[in-house]
Amino acid sequence: MSKNYSIKTYLIALNQIDKVGDKRISQLINHYESIENIFEDNEENIKELLEKKFKSQIGNFNKNEILDKAQTIVEKSNDYGIGILSLFDEEYPFNLKQIDNPPYILYYKGDLKKLRRNAIAIVGTREPTNESRKYSFELASKLSSMNITVVSGMAKGVDREAHFGAISSNINTTAVLGNGIDNVYPSENLQIYNKLSEKGIIVSEFEIGRKPDRMNFPRRNRIISGLSYAVVMVEAASKSGALITVDYALNQGRDVYIAPYDEKKSCYFGNHKLYKDGAKIAYNFMDILEDFDSIFSNDDDYTKMKLKYFEGGDIGVKNSKALEIPKKDAKNTQEIKNNNAVEITKKDRKINKNKKNDTELNLEEDEKSLYDIIKQSDKIHIDEIAEESNMKVQSAASILMQLEIKGIIKQLSGKYYTIEK
């Protein structure tokens, strides 16, 4: 070969060979003793090795073609502001590196600091109950406020609420996509995508240009669990696809939690099975902090927030009622009680969008109710909004977040809201 390529380019090139994934790449590297040595050999020998020794039926390929394609992927990624990590990079997520088949290449957009080791995954159905939506939002909000990264898949439902909740408190959240990072899927999550790519982080093992494919999503779930110390299953029916992430978590030695649930409802049959199999119920975020505090405390960002909100840094002593959620019987939980979220000033929340007339907003009933309250004043506090709407504060916060992401309202310091001008 006349050209000198980077290790990342070689790894991306190997991914362009049909039916060659991370496991086969690992076998090739071990056999040839280096990545460069693989490409010093000819295509016929590489193919024979893959098919006869490693039992992979692959098609023909040309080394120069896949290397040129890989180089194009690198250049286009740079143009889109998409970074590339290889398994050999120091910045590669520690937790993910520990699983059996970590992706050799990880594309990302956003703040690499949000790929911290202190991470908890929140997953569940795309069509959750209102109780599950509230639980997802509040759990994510409080974990994020403690500088714990919330990992989810930016899908509809539970994933969406988890990202919303984390955005409401410090934006400590990672979205793992099942397609290239240049593709926003589902398209309704464009505002979440923009916020995460700006101050959170989006990651994918799929290169730029890769379209969403239903076969990709189970594969990406191993990354969701792999990045995290534990997975919280919020809501899952008996055959929910969200349970795939739990299976990966268990195989990776991760802890599994479930949200409180009603065992009589079929939408929670997956939760109930996990409970019978030994999953622990996370009634609130304190259940997770108490289990992982000694691990989380290795991170200065977490310790800083712990010292701020707990007496002497002892999480067993609740220093703020805002951090407490009362426990309820798991099997008959109809509603997760709300408390004011940890008050952390949010900045830079404005999303550029042309101002629309009221008739053009196309709001849901709850969104319209809060919008009508806010537009009566120059600014109004969240407590007043909750009181006038006869909502609990956290329920109002979830709806306000959606209005804010849509660019209809904006939050001022001190949890005051106003109409976006």
What is the per-residue pLDDT across 245-284, written as a single tens digit (0 to 9) for each? Answer: 999 999 999 999 999 999 899 999 999 999 999 999 999 9
8 Å CB contact between 184 and 211: no
Q: pLDDT tens, 86-125?
A: 999 999 999 999 998 899 999 999 999 999 999 999 999 9
Both tokens assigned to 120 = 């908890």
Per-residue model confidence as pLDDT tens digits over 207-230: 999 998 878 888 899 999 999 999
* CATH 1.10.375.10 is held by the domain 109-323: no
Sheet holding 230-233, edge to edge: 83-86, 105-110, 201-204, 173-176, 149-152, 119-123, 230-233, 255-258, 280-281
Query: 36 pairs with which residues across the strands?
Result: none
- Residue at 98: amino acid letter: Q
Identify which of 72, 82, 76, 105 has the alpha carbon closest to the alpha carbon of residue 202: 82
Given this model, what pLDDT does residue 8 score? Answer: 96
Contact criterion met (CB below 8 Å) for 165 and 139: yes
Q: How many CA atoms lie within 13 A of 106 on its CB side?
A: 31
Q: SS3 of 190, please?
A: helix
> Can 109-323 and 358-419 be said to share one CATH topology?
no
Contacts of residue 391, defined as CB under 8 A and 6 or more positions apart, other chains included, come to: 366, 385, 399
Is residue 324 scored above 90 in pLDDT?
no
The CATH number assigned to the domain with range 358-419 reads 1.10.10.10
Q: What percent of the chain has pLDDT over 70?
A: 87
The predicted-structure confidence for 33-60, as pLDDT tens digits, reads as follows: 999 999 999 999 999 998 888 888 888 8
Cis peptide bond N-terminal to 102, omega within 30: no
d(CA 200, CA 348): 13
pLDDT tens, position by position, 117-159: 999 999 999 999 999 999 999 999 999 999 999 999 999 999 9
295 Cβ contact partners less than 8 Å away, ≥ 6 residues apart: 118, 229
Give the residue extent of every domain in the chain.
1-78, 109-323, 358-419
| Contacts with 314 (C-beta within 8 Å, 6 or more apart), sequence order | none
pLDDT (0 to 100) of residue 352: 32
Buried-state track 24-47, b at ≥16 Cβ within 10 A, e below 16: bbebbbeebeebeebbeeebeebb
